[in-house]
Structure 1
Amino acid sequence: MSKRGFVGAALAALLLLGTGPIMAGAATAQFGSLGNLGRLGARAAAPRLMSGREPISTSLPDAVWGDPAKDGWAPPGPRRPLTGLRRMANGGFVLQPGSYEFHDQSYCLHAGTHGPGGGEGYLYAPPKGSAQDAVMTIVRNSVAHPEIPQRTIQTLLWAIVARARFEDLSNEHRLVASQLLSQRQLASLNRSALDVLNSGPIANNLPSPLREIAQAEAQLRGMFASGASYGELERVAVLSGRVGRGPGSQAIPAGRWSQHPDGYWVRYLPVSYTNTVVNIWVPPGSAAIGREYDPAVHIAVPGDTARQRLIQSGRAYGG
């Protein structure tokens, strides 16, 4: 996009999203009204939370493609850069036989948990949840917008998983959201925002790990409304220090391969929540040849449920 075109799009988006009191009505129209949501109350919110209505619900039981038979195995032949393959318009890669590696930008989708560490293995699982379409769209469309900082994209994803109101985001973040998402997606996300989990019987009666996540999400919603910095958001979303294994964890060794249903093998080696080394093996004669590896449909799920699930992207880390 030319500089003139970008400026025009930015001005149009700001007019839609609103930048001050004069445009408050336009912002409300763009993102949808929360009037009815405010009257749902705790009794309505609890079933939605506990019945799989989380924005992203992908979890360890969804990661059923792990291949223990390949523990300690290395693909034959040289490992080539994944970026040498032909790319799709949405940032995906057209697979060919061989061994490939890509150091990508990855993103946290589980606020209120710990980052990678402790030699944990990660398994493939697809995005699931009420906001899966918006999350995949942000990650896919970000490939065509290298000018958007990774931190800005991560902030938008935290806003989604925390059910924050997009009216509460800064003008910069709302402008970026308008570049990466459709008006329909923006309005749908805003209508699904829940502000009733920060205190009271719902949060207090949840099991401890779920309660901590719900409280972190509620804290993030308040921080978005108060204009907190990225560092402040990160301290709540990405926990530090020692951590015990979460309930339902599995002993998954680091570097375990997952056999993708399309016919190739993939493994994830997170450096931190912000970047992951992805290895792919496409055997000769595989049905995966000519098919797309779309990072936006890959969530790396840790064997330790106390740690973060990480969505992959087609953006090279440091690139």
Structure 2
Amino acid sequence: MHRKLIGIAGVALALGLAGTAHAQFGNLGRALGEVTRAVPMPDFLSGPQPVSTSIRDAEWADPSRDGFRPGQAEPLDGLPQNEDGAFVLAAGYYAMQAQSYCLHAGTHGPGGGDGYLYAPVKGSARDAVIAILQNVNDHPEIAQRDVQLLLWAIVARAKFEDLDNRLKLVASQLLTPRQLATLNRNALSMLTSGELSRITGPLPAPLRAVVEAESRLRGMLTSGGSSFAEMERVAVLAGMAPTGPGSIGVPAARWSEHPDGYWVRYTPSGYSNTKVEIYVEPGSAAVGKVYDPATAIAVPGNTARQRLAQSARVYGR
């Protein structure tokens, strides 16, 4: 049923592309309107963050595995996958270069030897984030950059109904009408420069950078005319990253012991490309379990750096 709803919305939008902008998205607009009435309005300012996963949620670091070298890796993408794109695990050591995504606008990209740990996706938009990362496995024609733009729209709380027509079509292929309506309900209005200054003025510098980046992205995503590179410069800060508040020391080679009993390690090469390593001990209860990248976030020990959504898609394909 989940995929059927997505398919219906996608077909409706595809057929509408031949007409005017209203005709292009009229069906989606009516669907959103009907579902929106059933979705409660949250408190925009004090409600939960769309993605709230933080270093506090990375509870599975395993220092006892520091220095562990399991040998030659087999391709992770060579394992069987279930309908959500999750890898069905067998005993052994596996690795792949995965497409990954920025989920923390206004912070620095990976680097500086800072390690990353496994944590689950949390936040008010958890279901939408996971749906995008799972459903895109069925759409190899959707570019990694377009997935990133949708995720930035979520973390910036942009109105999906105000995205450009191309991104609306992509969103309709990956999200159900109800998910789209919920994202619209959580959207924030545009702020003037004066309003933004009054809000961010008293904030600590790291938090101010995040709020300002999200506000700028919200405007760029909904007003049109901005290139991906311009939005990337807003979302991913350049220069040397400071040590963020609440940071912990995480060696770059540290493994996390997943709650399902296997080990996972993330080594990013920039925010969009992460080496994912999985080790499953022979005879362990983890054999036959699945690793679903869409439900995982690679969280940096340094809170001034990007947290990274993961996917089952191989980087560069």
TM-score between both structures, scaled by the size of structure 2? 0.88
Counterparts in 2 of 1:157-306, with a 5 A limit?
Answer: 157-195=151-189, 199=196, 201-227=198-224, 228-306=226-304
- The residue identity in structure 2 corresponding to 1:46 is L
**Do the aligned partners of residues 171 and 208 (structure 1) sit closer, same or farther apart at CA in structure 2, a change above 3 Å counting?**
same
**Do the aligned partners of residues 30 and 207 (structure 1) sit closer, same or farther apart at CA in structure 2, a change above 3 Å counting?**
farther
CA contact (8 A) 2:136 2:174 kept: yes
- The residue identity in structure 2 corresponding to 1:47 is S
Distance 1:148 1:99 in 2: 30
Tell me the CA shift for residue 26 of structure 1. 4.9
Match for residue 84 of structure 2 among 83, 90, 93: 90
Distance 1:91 1:97 in 2: 19
CA contact (8 A) 1:45 1:196 kept: no
Distance 1:201 1:128 in 2: 29
Tell me the CA shift for residue 255 of structure 1. 1.6
Tell me the CA shift for residue 285 of structure 1. 1.4
Give per-residue Cα distances to partners, 1:141-179, cap 9 Å, x unaligned. Answer: 111111100000000000000000012211111001000
CA contact (8 A) 1:257 1:266 kept: yes
Counterparts in 2 of 1:68-87, with a 5 A limit?
Answer: 68-75=63-70, 77-87=71-81
Match for residue 59 of structure 1 among 54, 57, 64: 54
The percent identity for this pair of structures is: 57
CA contact (8 A) 1:67 1:259 kept: yes
Task: Extract unaligned runs of 5+ from structure 2.
Answer: 1-6
**Do the aligned partners of residues 297 and 10 (structure 1) sit closer, same or farther apart at CA in structure 2, a change above 3 Å counting?**
closer
Give per-residue Cα distances to partners, 1:191-244, cap 9 Å, x unaligned. Answer: 100226661543333322112101110111111122121111111011111221
Tell me the CA shift for residue 81 of structure 1. 0.7
**Do the aligned partners of residues 100 and 257 (structure 1) sit closer, same or farther apart at CA in structure 2, a change above 3 Å counting?**
same
- The residue identity in structure 2 corresponding to 1:59 is S
* Structure 2 residue aligned with 1:29: 30
Tell me the CA shift for residue 71 of structure 1. 1.1
Tell me the CA shift for residue 102 of structure 1. 1.2
Tell me the CA shift for residue 22 of structure 1. 5.7
* Structure 2 residue aligned with 1:4: none
* Structure 1 residue aligned with 2:149: 155
RMSD of the alignment, in Å? 2.5
Distance 1:300 1:15 in 2: 38
- The residue identity in structure 2 corresponding to 1:188 is T
**Do the aligned partners of residues 125 and 24 (structure 1) sit closer, same or farther apart at CA in structure 2, a change above 3 Å counting?**
closer
- The more displaced of 16-25 and 283-292 is 16-25
Q: State how many pairs are aligned.
A: 302
CA contact (8 A) 1:27 1:167 kept: no
What's the secondary structure of 1:278's corresponding residue? Answer: strand
TM-score between both structures, scaled by the size of structure 1? 0.88
